[in-house]
C-alpha cells in the first residue's frame, strides 16, 4: 500500500522560499508521476504541478515562474520549492501520486504552511 507523507517548515517569511518534501513508501518513486496540490484555508484545491523521474514535468502556469519540483530516487522522495512567497501562498500543501492524464491517488495527509513575518 502506497503511503505519502509531507514534511517541512510550517512557517515561512514573506519573500523567502517554501520548501517541502514528500516521502513515498510502499512503491518505487520511479513508477509514477507525482504531484503537488494546495488548498488555502477554507477554499478549494489548486494543482501546482507534477514530475516524473525521467524529468518530464509540468507546472501550473499561474505558479510556473516560482515553482520547482524535484525528485530524489535514492531517498524515494520528491520535493517542492516555491520562491518569493506572499501571504497568498498560505495553504495546506498536499503531495499525491498521479496527475499525468489520470487521477490523484493516494494523497499525503497535507501540511499547513503559513507565510508570515
Partner 1 sequence: DIQMTQSPSSLSASLGDRVTITCRASQNINNDLNWYQQKPGKAPKVLIAAASSLQTGVPSRFSGSGSGTEFALTISSLQPEDFATYYCQQSYNTPLTFGQGTRLDIK
Torsions phi, psi of 65, nearest 5? -70, -15
- Establish if 54 lies at the interface with partner 1 (CB under 8 A): no
Pick from 10, 54, 61, 65 the residue near partner 1 by CB under 8 A: 61
The answer to whether 48 and 38 are in contact (CB under 8 A) is: yes
Pick from 72, 75, 87, 102 the residue near partner 1 by CB under 8 A: 102
> Which position has the grid cell 524515494?
76
Q: Which residues bind partner 1 (CB under 8 A)?
A: 35, 44-47, 58, 60-62, 94, 96, 99, 101-105, 107-110
Amino acid at each position: 500500500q502506497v503511503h505519502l507523507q509531507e514534511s517541512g517548515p510550517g512557517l515561512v517569511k514573506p519573500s523567502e522560499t517554501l520548501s517541502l518534501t514528500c516521502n513515498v513508501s510502499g512503491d518505487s518513486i520511479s513508477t509514477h508521476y507525482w504531484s503537488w496540490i494546495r488548498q488555502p484555508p477554507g477554499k478549494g484545491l489548486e494543482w501546482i504541478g507534477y514530475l516524473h523521474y525521467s524529468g518530464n514535468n509540468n507546472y501550473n502556469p499561474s505558479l510556473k515562474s516560482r515553482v520547482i519540483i524535484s525528485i530524489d530516487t535514492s531517498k524515494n522522495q520528491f520535493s517542492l520549492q516555491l520562491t518569493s512567497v506572499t501571504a497568498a501562498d498560505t495553504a495546506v500543501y498536499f503531495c499525491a501520486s498521479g496527475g499525468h492524464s489520470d487521477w490523484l491517488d493516494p494523497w499525503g495527509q497535507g501540511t499547513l504552511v503559513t507565510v508570515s513575518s
